[in-house]
């Protein structure tokens, strides 16, 4: 990651103060709306040219149909501002190669090639300034299916005849110059799909952006681990806190560009939970809208934006200007954000009438929900366990925010401890790999990559306060090679693994015994392997190690571990203890 004073200030502005942005995918693909030659394509709409292998000459004709008479830049940006978003990213040129501004570099642009003849980027940049929204741009720097030397079109052009240097020097650099010198201050430029670009060109492009606008952020998809911040996989949310600046792009349905037959709309409540979960892990949420070919933002998108805005008008203090969850993992009931001496508990799920928070070192001064004080108790021992009684009118249709004020700046014990139901969650993202030369890495989703070596292992230390017998479940994840829901999920099982804890070990085969709801991302299902049961009979510190005894490698995926979960087996004694705790809390 590159950093100078301008970039550092810009990162603070975006990733502490702004937090929430809106992505706009709009181009010629919006006219086609996911249909070609009378049929609906199964893919995301903006990839229709490549998926259907539409010849360049035929695709160019679509520009004559692009005349969005209902486009109103002010109306669009007003909707975005009302949502609580504080920045917007607009596709200046997507992979189809069509520029949504008046480019002098290529006539294949919205002013010269359409009857509409207006500079869309120019109009939106003016409206963004009017409404106080930071204006940002998307530019496809690697794939360009229209240009004879851009990457990705192998049906019009022979790859052996292509020279990427020509495209980079005659198209990319000049168009990026146009965008960064013709439309005022640009908050970030969003590059994408660095499939073929080499590191030298990614470096040159990154430096070029900073030369033109020193405070313009460059996203990580410029390629080769360059850029100023990271992009998580499309619709991906990591399982644990990510310390460096990062962002997740999210769809409201399945497609990014407008697709008339895509009615798989997420509920606004779900998207607010995504926003809350992303901010809790230290990231920004970039939520997409795909206007249609006439310039209308779909009604469903407007309703979702309004719902998010209503939640943020009440709970914005728990989002803007906050830092990530200070604890090592989220709680079963949700996540947290923090600022100075305040903790904001984002409660997503009911938890038996109480919220339990372990490891808080500060003394609690007050606990409030909807400006109303709540009853709480705090253990006076080293655990600092905080128990909050939820009120009768506790509303969880959207995440409920409980505000906790403590004495001094928030300090926590980052040890892994039992959750409120006495389970223990051991995320791969916070494990310690065996040896300094371990090849295991952690993906943006918090899943192990490159686990092919049976000599490697992961280890966690954790504390048990309420001992007993536990089920041990291994959680793996299904992923897609790209962000297209039509792409099959990739998952590989059959690995033989051993779990060792407290001088005991269990061996099992990774299978799909059951599927578990992914609480942060429905696009990536979680699969459970039931390994067996184990006794942890004494309170105290424990160490768990997981090792692969054999790894199936038919798909070159390896062992994709997400987490290990220890679920308590609820004996009669356990149920009695829980009832006693609840009784004490209600006295």
Strand (E) positions, 280-399?
A: 284-289, 334-339, 342-347, 354-357, 364-369, 372-373, 376-378, 386-389
Please indicate whether residue 298 or residue 439 has the higher confidence score (pLDDT): 298
| Interatomic CA distance for residues 101 and 88, integer angstroms | 16
* Portion of the chain with pLDDT greater than 70, in percent: 95
Give yes or no for residue 583 having a pLDDT over 50. no
| Residues 6 or more apart in contact with residue 88 via CB below 8 angstroms | 21, 22, 23, 24, 77, 80, 124, 128, 133, 134, 135, 136
Tell whether the model's pLDDT for residue 471 goes beyond 70: yes
* 424-572 classified as CATH 2.60.120.260: yes
d(CA 384, CA 522): 34
* Per-residue confidence (pLDDT) for residue 483, from 0 to 100: 64
Give the separation between CA 42 and CA 390, rounded to whole angstroms. 45
Residue 586 pLDDT: 38
Instruction: Return the SS3 of 455.
Output: coil
Q: Are 247 and 288 in contact (CB under 8 A)?
A: no
Q: What is the pLDDT of residues 86-96, one digit of tens each?
A: 999 999 999 99
Confidence class for position 580, pLDDT limits 50, 70, 90? very low
The helix or strand, by DSSP H or E, that contains position 247, with its residue range, turns out to be: strand 246-250
b/e code 64-93 from CB counts within 10 Å (16+ = b): eebebeebebeebbebbbbbbbbbbbbbbb
Residue pair 569/470 in contact by the 8 Å Cβ criterion: yes
The pTM for the full model equals: 0.93
pLDDT above 90: percentage of residues in the chain: 82
Taking 80 as the threshold, does the pLDDT of residue 578 lie above it? no
CB contact at 8 A, 533 and 470 = yes
- Mean pLDDT for 235-258 is 94
> For residues 412 and 362, what is the distance between their CA atoms, to the nearest angstrom?
8
Q: How confident is the model at residue 481 (pLDDT cuts 50, 70, 90)?
A: low
Going by pLDDT thresholds of 50, 70 and 90, the confidence category of residue 478 is: confident
pLDDT at 576: 44
What confidence tens digit (pLDDT) does each residue in 262-319 have? 999 999 999 999 999 999 999 999 999 999 999 999 999 999 999 999 999 999 999 9
- Residue 352 scores a pLDDT above 80: no
What CATH number has the domain spanning 5-315? 3.20.20.80
> Which of the following CATH numbers is that of domain 334-406: 1.10.8.100, 3.90.980.10, 3.40.190.10, 2.60.40.1180?
2.60.40.1180
Q: How far is CA 454 from the centre of its chain?
A: 31
- CA angle 187/134/172 to nearest 5° reads 40
Please answer whether residues 308 and 86 qualify as being in contact, where contact means their C-beta atoms are separated by less than 8 angstroms.
no
Residues 6+ apart with CB under 8 A from 279: 19, 285, 319, 322, 324, 337
**What span, in angstroms and rounded, lies between the C-alpha atoms of 437 and 176?**
40
Q: What is the mean pLDDT of residues 435-447?
A: 84
Q: Can you give the residue ranges of every domain in the chain?
A: 5-315, 334-406, 424-572
Give me 223's structure tokens: 């390629």
């Amino acid at each position: 990651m590159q950093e100078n004073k301008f970039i550092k200030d810009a990162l603070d502005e975006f990733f502490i103060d702004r937090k929430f942005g809106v992505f706009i995918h709009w181009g010629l693909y919006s006219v086609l709306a996911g249909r070609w030659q009378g049929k609906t394509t199964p893919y995301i709409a903006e990839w229709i040219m490549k998926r259907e292998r539409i010849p360049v000459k035929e695709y160019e004709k679509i520009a004559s149909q692009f005349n969005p008479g209902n486009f109103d830049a002010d109306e669009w940006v007003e909707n975005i501002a009302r949502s609580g978003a504080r920045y917007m990213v607009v596709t200046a040129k997507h992979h189809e190669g069509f520029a949504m501004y008046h480019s002098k570099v290529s006539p294949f642009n919205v002013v010269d090639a359409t009857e509409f003849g207006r500079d869309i980027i120019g109009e939106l940049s003016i409206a963004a300034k009017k409404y106080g929204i930071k204006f940002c741009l998307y530019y496809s720097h690697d794939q360009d299916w229209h240009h004879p030397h851009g990457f990705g079109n192998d049906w019009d052009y022979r790859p052996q005849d292509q020279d990427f240097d020509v495209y980079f020097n005659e198209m990319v650099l000049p168009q990026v110059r146009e965008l960064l010198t013709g439309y005022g201050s640009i908050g970030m430029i969003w590059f994408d799909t660095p499939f073929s670009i080499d590191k030298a060109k990614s470096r040159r492009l990154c430096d070029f952006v900073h030369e033109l606008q020193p405070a313009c952020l460059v996203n990580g998809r410029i390629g080769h681990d360059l850029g100023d911040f990271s992009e998580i996989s499309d619709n991906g949310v990591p399982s644990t806190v990510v310390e460096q600046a990062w962002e997740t792009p999210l769809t409201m349905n399945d497609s990014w560009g407008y697709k008339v037959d895509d009615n798989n709309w997420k509920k606004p409540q779900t998207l607010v939970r995504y926003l809350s979960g992303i901010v809790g892990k230290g990231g920004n949420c970039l939520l997409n809208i795909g206007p249609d070919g006439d310039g209308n933002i779909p009604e469903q998108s407007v309703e979702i934006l309004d719902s998010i805005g209503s939640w943020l008008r009440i709970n914005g203090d728990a989002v803007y200007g906050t830092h990530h969850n200070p604890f090592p993992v989220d709680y079963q009931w949700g996540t947290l954000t923090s600022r100075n001496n305040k903790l904001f508990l984002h409660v997503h799920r009911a938890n038996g009438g109480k919220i339990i928070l372990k490891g808080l070192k500060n003394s609690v001064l007050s606990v409030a929900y909807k400006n109303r004080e709540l009853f709480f108790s705090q253990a006076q021992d080293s655990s600092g366990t905080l128990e909050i009684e939820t009120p009768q009118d506790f509303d969880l249709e959207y995440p409920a925010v409980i505000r906790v004020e403590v004495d001094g700046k928030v300090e926590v014990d980052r040890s892994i401890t039992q959750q409120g139901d006495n389970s223990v969650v051991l995320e791969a993202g916070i494990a310690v790999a065996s040896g300094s030369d371990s090849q295991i890495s952690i993906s943006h989703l918090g899943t192990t990559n490159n686990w092919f070596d049976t000599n490697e292992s992961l280890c966690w230390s954790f504390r048990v306060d309420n001992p007993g017998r536990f089920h041990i479940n291994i959680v793996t994840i299904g992923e897609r090679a790209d962000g297209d829901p039509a792409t099959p999920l990739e998952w590989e099982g059959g690995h033989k693994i051993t779990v060792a804890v407290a001088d005991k070990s269990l061996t099992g085969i990774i299978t799909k015994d059951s599927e578990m709801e992914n609480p942060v991302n429905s696009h990536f299902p979680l699969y459970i392997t039931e390994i067996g049961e184990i006794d942890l009979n004494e309170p105290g510190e424990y160490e768990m190690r997981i090792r692969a005894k054999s790894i199936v490698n038919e798909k070159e995926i390896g062992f994709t571990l997400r987490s290990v979960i220890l679920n308590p087996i609820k004996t009669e004694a356990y149920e009695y203890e829980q009832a006693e705790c609840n009784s004490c809390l209600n006295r």
